């Protein structure tokens, strides 16, 4: 537990965010008053269905798409699986080649690994030292058998923003190839026009923008088909069977509206200032290496290594001071494997072993950043002294 008298600093927002009070209030009111099954024929079911429809329209308006292009899911992992496996199953007669990157989230990377066992060929594009793919590499990888390109918008570990718009322009020359974007870490932080970028499938998750866990959205362009993963009902245009999570869906629409209002009011610029301050101060600490390049990164993620100190040791030491950060992605943090992203960027195994991630939200302040740097410097000094005595 944090030591007495120390205010908690939560810098692990890429793992999950704290739900906004208004979002929780919306969820509770919806769950109490509109608890009927939206698929039921009676009036209570119709009321719940109306709320789901309204939430679908609100989300579509914010994303700049049509209402019938919104599919509700349980979150980013299901959305990515549905987009990739759904495309693979639906278009496998057209081709069995999929292109992705070496730095994707586990829900994309492991899905592609699974498809390899089913006879699909996957190309994992390399990245440069800043974590970005090269358009020429993508172009060279395309074959007559390619049916899907899946590239994340914002990397969840180092914050690198992939050239999604450039990829979309390239793929306009290949109308038979679908384009999927994992927008989970970018939603509400880095602008992305789904139409202008030529995106066919796009994944977001509510708990990454102060909504609730267990609710997500898959955008599916209207004139394409994908095969469902969950069958047994007619929900979500027969693409995702299962009783709709009415409260979570309505709360997700509320959270998305609130995060976009904050973005439009300049919250991202403020967060970028905090990120830039943290990067400057981190780089000045002896033995610390920063792996995030602010010129090509989202405003809320910083990855760094403290020389000679394992990432998990630093995470737990800071926790004792009331500071919460992470090592790699939360989905992979307990596997104790080195970061695929950092290794793909050319980071040494020793530095990858010591990597830690700071991830901000619009609620974080410069005062928290200043306190974090002060406590981090002292913590690193203390750990280095302990390590020195034990060598």
What is the average pLDDT across 151-177?
98
Please indicate whether residue 331 is annotated as part of the active site.
yes
Same-domain status, 64 and 177 = yes
- Do 354 and 237 fall within a single domain? no
CATH code where residue 65 lies: 3.40.640.10
The confidence score (pLDDT) of residue 389 equals 55
The two counts, helices (H) then strands (E), for the chain are 13, 12
| Residue 196 and residue 67 share a domain | yes
**Catalytic annotation, pick one of 112, 187, 202, 331:** 331
Looking at the fold, whether 158 and 248 belong to one and the same domain comes out as yes
Please check whether residues 253 and 277 belong to one and the same domain: no
Alpha helix stretches (DSSP H) within the chain: 21-33, 43-63, 76-91, 106-117, 135-141, 164-171, 235-238, 246-264, 267-283, 311-319, 340-344, 349-353, 366-390
Q: Determine the Cα–Cα distance for residues 114 and 108; give it in Å rounded to an integer.
A: 10
- Give the model's confidence band at 205: pLDDT under 50 very low, under 70 low, under 90 confident, else very high: very high
Q: Is the pLDDT of residue 215 over 70?
A: yes
283 shares a domain with 189: no
CATH number for the domain that contains residue 315: 3.90.1150.10
> Count of domains in the chain?
2
- Predicted TM-score of the model (pTM): 0.94
With a cut of 60, say whether residue 335 has pLDDT above it.
no
At 335, is the secondary structure helix, strand, or coil?
A: coil
Q: Which tokens is 180 given?
A: 């999927």
Mean pLDDT of all residues in 326-349 = 80
Mean pLDDT, the chain, whole residue set? 95
Beta bridge partner(s), residue 355:
305
Q: Is residue 1 domain-resident?
A: no
Instruction: Of 5-9, 364-368, 379-383, give the range with the top mean pLDDT.
Output: 364-368
Residue 2 lies in a domain: no
How large is the average pLDDT for residues 258-287?
97
Residue-wise pLDDT for 66-119, tens only, equals 999 999 999 999 999 999 999 999 999 999 999 999 999 999 999 999 999 999
The whole domain housing 305 covers: 9-19+266-390
Per-residue pLDDT at 1:
46
Same domain assignment for residues 30 and 135: yes
Last residue in a domain, options 262, 278, 312:
262
Report how far Cα 331 is from the mean position of its chain's Cα atoms: 11
Beta carbons of 313 and 325 less than 8 angstroms apart: no
């Amino acid at each position: 537990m944090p030591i007495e008298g120390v205010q908690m600093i939560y810098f692990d927002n890429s793992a999950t965010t704290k739900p906004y009070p208004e979002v929780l209030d919306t969820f509770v009111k919806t769950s109490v008053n509109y608890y009927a099954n939206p698929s039921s024929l009676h009036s209570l079911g119709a009321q719940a269905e109306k709320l789901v429809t309204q939430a679908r329209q609100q989300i579509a308006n914010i994303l700049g798409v049509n209402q019938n292009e919104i599919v509700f899911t349980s979150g980013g992992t299901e959305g990515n699986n549905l987009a990739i496996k759904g495309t693979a199953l639906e278009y496998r007669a057209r081709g069995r080649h999929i292109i992705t990157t070496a730095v994707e989230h586990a829900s994309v990377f492991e899905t592609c690994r699974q498809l390899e066992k089913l006879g699909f060929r996957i190309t994992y594009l390399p990245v440069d030292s800043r974590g970005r793919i090269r358009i020429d590499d993508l172009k060279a990888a395309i074959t007559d058998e390619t049916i899907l390109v899946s590239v994340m918008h914002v990397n969840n570990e180092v914050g690198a923003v992939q050239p999604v718009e450039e990829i979309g322009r390239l793929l306009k020359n290949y109308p038979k190839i679908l384009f999927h974007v994992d927008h989970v870490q970018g939603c509400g932080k880095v602008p992305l026009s789904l139409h202008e970028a030529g995106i066919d499938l796009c994944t977001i998750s509510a708990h990454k923008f102060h909504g609730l866990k267990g609710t997500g959205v898959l955008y599916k362009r209207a004139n394409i088909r994908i095969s469902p993963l969950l069958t047994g009902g007619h929900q979500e245009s027969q693409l995702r069977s299962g009783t709709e999570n009415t409260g979570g869906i309505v709360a997700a629409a509320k959270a998305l509206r609130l995060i976009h209002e904050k973005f439009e009011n300049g919250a991202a610029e403020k967060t970028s200032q905090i990120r830039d301050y943290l990067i400057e101060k981190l780089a000045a600490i002896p033995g610390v290496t920063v792996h995030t390049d602010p010129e090509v990164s989202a405003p809320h993620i910083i990855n760094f290594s403290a020389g000679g100190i394992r990432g998990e040791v630093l995470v737990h030491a800071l926790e004792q001071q009331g500071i919460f950060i992470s090592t790699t992605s939360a989905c992979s943090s307990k596997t104790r494997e080195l970061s695929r992203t950092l290794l793909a960027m050319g980071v040494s195994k020793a530095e990858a072993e010591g990597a830690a991630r700071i991830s901000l939200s619009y609620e974080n302040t410069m005062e928290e950043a200043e306190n974090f740097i002060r406590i981090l410097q002292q913590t690193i000094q203390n750990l280095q002294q302990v390590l020195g005595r034990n060598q």
